[in-house]
Amino acid sequence: MRVLMVEDDLRVASALAAALRRRNHVVIAATTASEATAAGPVDLVLLDLNLPDRDGLELCRQIRRRNEDVAIILVTARSEERDRVAGLRAGADDYVVKPFSMAELQARIEAVMRRTARAARVETTLEVGDLRVDLNARRVWLSDREVSLTRKEFELLMALARQAGTVVPRDRLLMDIWQTTWNSGHTLDVHVAALRGKLDDAGLVETVRGVGYRLRSG
Amino acid sequence: MRVLMVEDDLRVASALAAALRRRNHVVIAATTASEATAAGPVDLVLLDLNLPDRDGLELCRQIRRRNEDVAIILVTARSEERDRVAGLRAGADDYVVKPFSMAELQARIEAVMRRTARAARVETTLEVGDLRVDLNARRVWLSDREVSLTRKEFELLMALARQAGTVVPRDRLLMDIWQTTWNSGHTLDVHVAALRGKLDDAGLVETVRGVGYRLRSG
DNA sequence: GAAGATCGTGACCGCATGATGACGTGCCTC
DNA sequence: GAGGCACGTCATCATGCGGTCACGATCTTC
């Protein structure tokens, strides 16, 4: 398993890394937030909240935003209840307080990975009716004809196709794609219109007034 | 969400159950292991390890064996590290030590459910007689024919269908849908009329004079 | 560095939606 | 059975929401 370890205390880091490697994990060590964001895809992140260059919680949120599936365990000296709550709300799966034993950390890693494994439908392509979306290649076909989409259009379609058939609220879309919930102009509407145009929409993207949009699934 | 709470300390149990219900969970309370095994399907188990009739860890393993998807959080006074490790190895997803705050428990529940919610699709359709309401898709069918409802109409139907068969008071509806209890004109009545029209109502929405409305369930 | 793609913004429009008030109707009370 | 109350119905009106278009800024690409 690929583990990203973000820890700036070198003594802790080397001991932890050694222990993880003994358990046959591939360890990618980072000591700063910027190093962490540069790391490739991983299955698990062990994240120290006290980082030299950036707030750990903010980094946690960013990682979660980028990847819904990765397991995140916060490893930190902050033991207050409000810290634990804040950490979990930032998208972490678990919270381990220093000092900790490797046995407990390993048990928590296993518990989290059990859940991840259960939830991990490795979706590489979504199919909805005549529509086929390849998430890795970022390509879209509409009944054999390929459709070329811009970045925003693709992200929008992806957000809708992931939950095809159910209404995705406007603010949810704004959060997912623009990382904001404040919609000044009609940014979202404009991109929906563009998407509809390219899908020569026969009512594929349905609007639900006052709520959001829905990709027709049946 | 359906929560099975296994806890033999009645004071803890009632406080916890109340807090969970406030958060809109359906709570099934059990004080012994045998009661717990008799409970129906649930989404989450909160399990106290100190039970009168059986070892809590053993129960935890059994629940996990029976259902791979259910979320299990151990809630217990045993705070030793070896207890935590044993608990997690027995298949629990998380481990909360008493005394704990509701805020933290809720945060941990959310963290665990983030994982399982995607794997185990949450039940989101209400069925009442010939009526079928898909809460996620925001679509309504009346015996195979789809009915298109406006926002208020849908919210109204949802509020009634959630408690089909029982009377929902007028001010409760006003609170739920309009966030006010002050009814100037006949706003509510008008929307009830509209809903009845679209459901070509054969007495489906019954009015209970002086109280409110009831969706006929039989 | 020019040309084109992409994206955000604001103006404008159309219409579905929902609130309101007048009036009608059934029901209960005395 | 008259009056009052609660609810139903209808027509009307304001507005909020989303669609569309055009323009300018920024980012790519060659």
User: If you average pLDDT over residues B57-75, what whole number do you get?
Assistant: 84
Q: Residue B201's pLDDT is what?
A: 65
What is the predicted pLDDT for the residue at B120?
46
The percentage of residues in chain B with a pLDDT greater than 90, rounded to a whole number, is 28
- Chain A residues in contact with B94 by the CB 8 A cut-off are 94, 111
Which numeric CATH code is attached to A2-119? 3.40.50.2300
Nearest DNA or RNA nucleotide to B194 (CA to C1'): D9
pLDDT at A163: 86
- pLDDT in the model for residue B126: 86
φ/ψ region of A119 (left if φ > 0, alpha if ψ in -120 to 50, else beta) reads: alpha
What pLDDT score was predicted for residue B100? 84
pLDDT at B19 over 60: yes
Q: Is A66 exposed, middle or buried (0-12, 13-18, 19+ CB in 10 A)?
A: exposed
* CB of A53 nearer than 7 A to strand D: no
Q: Which of A5-19, B45-59, B99-113, B177-191 has the lowest mean pLDDT?
A: B177-191
CB spacing of A88 vs B107 below 8 angstroms: yes
Give first-to-last CA distance, chain B, whole Å. Answer: 25
* d(C-alpha A212, C-alpha A177), whole Å: 14
Contacts of A185 (CB under 8 A, 6+ apart): none
Report if CB A184 to strand C is under 7 Å.
yes
- Look at A116 and B115 and tell me if their CB atoms are within 8 Å: yes
- Encoded tokens for A23: 């358990």
Query: What pLDDT, on a 0 to 100 scale, did the predictor assign at position A24?
Result: 80
Residue closest to A17 by CA, chosen among A102, A87, A84: A102
Contacts of B104 in chain A (CB under 8 A): 81, 84-85, 88
Determine the average pLDDT of the residues in B56-80: 84
CA A7, A85, B16, A119 torsion-angle sign: negative
Assess whether pLDDT exceeds 90 at residue B191. yes
Per-residue pLDDT of chain A in tens (218 residues, 90 and over written 9): 788 999 888 888 888 888 888 888 888 888 888 888 877 778 899 999 888 888 888 899 888 877 777 889 999 888 788 888 899 988 899 999 888 888 888 889 888 888 776 655 556 788 888 899 998 888 999 888 899 999 999 999 999 998 889 899 888 888 888 877 676 678 999 999 999 999 876 789 999 999 999 999 86
pLDDT digit string, tens, across residues B84-137: 888 888 889 899 988 888 888 888 988 888 776 654 445 578 888 889 999 889
Looking at residues B181-191, what average pLDDT do you find?
Answer: 81
Give B85's contacts in chain A (Cβ within 8 Å).
Answer: 103-104, 107
Domain B125-215 has CATH 3.40.50.300: no
**Is the model's pLDDT at B152 over the cut of 90?**
yes
Could you give the 3-state DSSP secondary structure of residue B79? coil
Pairwise pLDDT comparison (B53 vs B149), residue with the higher score: B149
Cβ neighbours, 10 Å, residue A188? 19
Q: What is the largest CA-CA distance in chain A?
A: 61
* pTM for this entry: 0.61
Domain ranges of chain A: 2-119, 125-215
Q: Round the average pLDDT of chain B to a whole number and report it.
A: 85
DSSP H helical ranges for B53-128: 56-66, 81-89, 102-119
Helix (H, G, I), strand (E, B) or coil at B207: strand
